[in-house]
């Protein structure tokens, strides 16, 4: 399966379990790889048959900016559900991280892989 990706999408959001994290937005960094068959789009050089990564990015940005989750795990699951159900992506790998959250580390976070199976796409 081909993959379309968005790398290092940085978004400001309220996230975390500590009181100070509930008061000040932090940077969230997101990488998403999405399974997609690029052959129809490339065969006809037709954007309407491609996965619109700009629309995916805008949807993720809007969602994350308005969210206030405690856990990056919850945020990751919610983003995965949006991408799979709204953009009909059959598979994704998603990395959600909080840069600088742990002293001495570049970032911390989660990586999840999900398929359309298990998500209601009605």
The domains of the chain, with CATH numbers, are 3-115 (3.30.1130.10)
Q: What is the number of other CB atoms lying within 10 angstroms of the CB of residue 44?
A: 10
Contact 116, 80 (CB under 8 A): no
Catalytic site includes residue 24: no
Q: What is the CA radius of gyration of the chain?
A: 15
pLDDT for 122 equals: 53
Which of 78, 111, 82, 84 shows the shortest CA–CA distance to 97? 111
pLDDT per residue as tens digits for the range 55-112: 999 999 999 999 999 999 999 999 999 999 999 999 999 999 999 888 888 899 999 9
Exactly one of 24, 25, 54, 98 is catalytic; name it. Answer: 98
pLDDT per residue as tens digits for the range 91-100: 999 999 999 8
SS3 102: coil
Q: What is the pTM of this model?
A: 0.93
């Amino acid at each position: 399966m081909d993959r379309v990706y968005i790398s290092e999408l940085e978004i400001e959001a309220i996230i975390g379990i500590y009181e100070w994290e509930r008061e000040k937005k932090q940077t969230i960094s997101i990488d998403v790889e999405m399974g997609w068959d690029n052959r129809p789009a490339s065969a006809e050089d037709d954007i309407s048959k491609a996965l619109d990564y700009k629309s995916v990015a805008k949807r993720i940005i809007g969602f994350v900016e308005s969210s206030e989750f405690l856990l990056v795990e919850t945020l990751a699951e919610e983003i995965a559900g949006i991408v799979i159900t709204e953009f009909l992506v059959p598979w994704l790998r998603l990395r959600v991280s909080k840069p600088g959250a742990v002293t001495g580390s570049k970032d911390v976070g989660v990586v999840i892989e999900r398929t359309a199976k298990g998500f209601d796409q009605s």
